[in-house]
Amino acid sequence: MIIGSVLLSSSVFVNLLLLLITYLIYRSFRSRDSKLSRPVQINKATGTQTFTYQELQQATDGFKEELGRGAFGTVYKGVLGSKETNFVAVKVLEMRTGESEKEFEREVSAIAQTNHTNLVQLLGFCNEGQHRLLVYEFMSNGSLADFLFGASRPSWYKRVEIACGVAWGLSYLHDDCTRHIIHCDIKPQNILLDSTLAAKISYFGLAKLLMANQTRTTTGVRGTRGYLVPEWFRNMPISGKVDVYSFGILLLELICCRKNYKPEVETEAQVVLVDWVYDCYHDVNIIVLVESNEEASSDMRRVRRFVMMALWCIQGDPALRPTMKKITQMLEGAVEVPVPPVPSSFIS
C-alpha cells in the first residue's frame, strides 16, 4: 500500500508539472504573437506613404515575381497604380523575431529622413497587424554584387562612377542628414544600380541613427564578415569610420573586379584581396591588379590613387581613416592622397 501510494502521488506530481510547463510555453508563444501583431510606432512626420497589406498583395500580383531574398525577408517586383511602368520593389519582412521588428523600425526611421540621389528611396510601408512591408523605388539593374562579380566585367570608368556615387551617399549620411546615420553594412549586395547604372545605397536594417551633436555610439556587432572593422571586437565606441572601413574593402573590389576573399586563385598570396593589394603596392607593381583590364591599365595614375585611398580606409586605428567627405575630395582629385601606412590590422 505504501509503495502504491508513493507511485500514485509521484505520477500526479509529474502530470501537474507537465501541465504547468505546457501552460508557461503557451503563455510565452501567446505573448510573442501578441507583440508581433501590434503595429510598430512609426514617426508620422516622415511623410512616407502607408499601404494596406491588400494593396501591396495586389500590386505584386500575390507576391509572384521574386527579386531577392535576405536574412529577414524577401523582395518582390510590383506595380503601383494603373501605369505598367510604375514599378516598385516590395520587401516582405518575416516577423519571426524581435530583431525583425527592430529592423523594420530602423529602416523606416533612417531612410525616410533621407533625400539623396545615391540613396534608394523609400516610397512607403505597410504596418498592419503582423504584416511589415517596405516599398522602394525599383532598381532595374539589381545589385552591384551581381554586376561586379558576374560573367561580363563592367567598364573601368563605370566602376569609377559607382565608387564616387557610394562615397557621395555615405558622405551625405554622415554629415548632411538631420540625424547623422551610420549604415553599418556597406557591401556590394547592398548597393543597387538603376537604369543608368547609377549606384544607390540600400538596406538600412542595421543602421544606427545618432543623436544631435553625437559622433560616436556603442552597439553590438553589426554587418557582414569581411567588411567588419576591428573596433567591433574591441568593445570600442563606433563612428562613421566603420562605413569608411567597409568602403575601403568595396573600393578594392571595384578596382580588381573580384571578391575580398577568393580561395580559387592562382597563388595563395591572392586569396585575401587586401593582403594581395598591399603586397602589389609595396612592390610597386599595382598594374598586376588590373593587367587584364585595358581601360584601367591605361589609367594607372587613378588606379594608384584609388589603391592608396583604400589602404587609408582600412587602417586598424579608426583615427587614421579619413572621413567620407575627405574621401569624396580624394576621389575627385581635389585633395592629394598621402602615402598610406601598413594596414596592420589585416597583415597581422
Q: What is the topology classification, in CATH, of domain 144-347?
A: Transferase(Phosphotransferase); domain 1 (1.10.510)
Question: Which of the following is catalytic: 146, 185, 194, 275?
Answer: 185
* 210's grid cell: 545618432
CATH 3.30.200.20 domain residues, the chain:
44-137
- In angstroms, the CA 99 to CA 71 distance is 11
* Residue 206 burial (10 A CB sphere; 0-12, 13-18, 19+): buried
The DSSP code for 126 is: E
First CA to last CA distance, the chain: 74
Q: What is the topology classification, in CATH, of domain 44-137?
A: Phosphorylase Kinase; domain 1 (3.30.200)
154 CB contacts (<8 Å, ≥6 apart)?
147, 148, 162, 197, 257
CA-based nearest residue to 199, from 150, 273, 145, 149? 145
Q: What is the total residue count of the chain?
A: 348
CATH 1.10.510.10 domain residues, the chain:
144-347
The one-digit pLDDT tens for each residue of the chain (348 residues) are 666 555 556 666 666 777 777 666 656 554 444 443 444 444 444 567 899 999 999 999 999 999 988 767 899 999 987 666 789 999 998 866 666 677 788 778 777 778 899 999 999 999 988 899 999 999 999 999 999 998 877 899 999 999 999 999 999 999 988 788 999 899 999 999 999 999 999 988 788 777 555 565 656 566 677 788 887 777 777 889 999 999 999 999 999 999 999 988 878 888 999 999 999 999 999 999 998 899 999 999 999 999 999 999 999 899 999 999 999 999 998 999 999 987 654 444
This prediction's pTM? 0.81
**185 catalytic, yes or no?**
yes
42 CB contacts (<8 Å, ≥6 apart)?
105, 108, 109, 125, 127
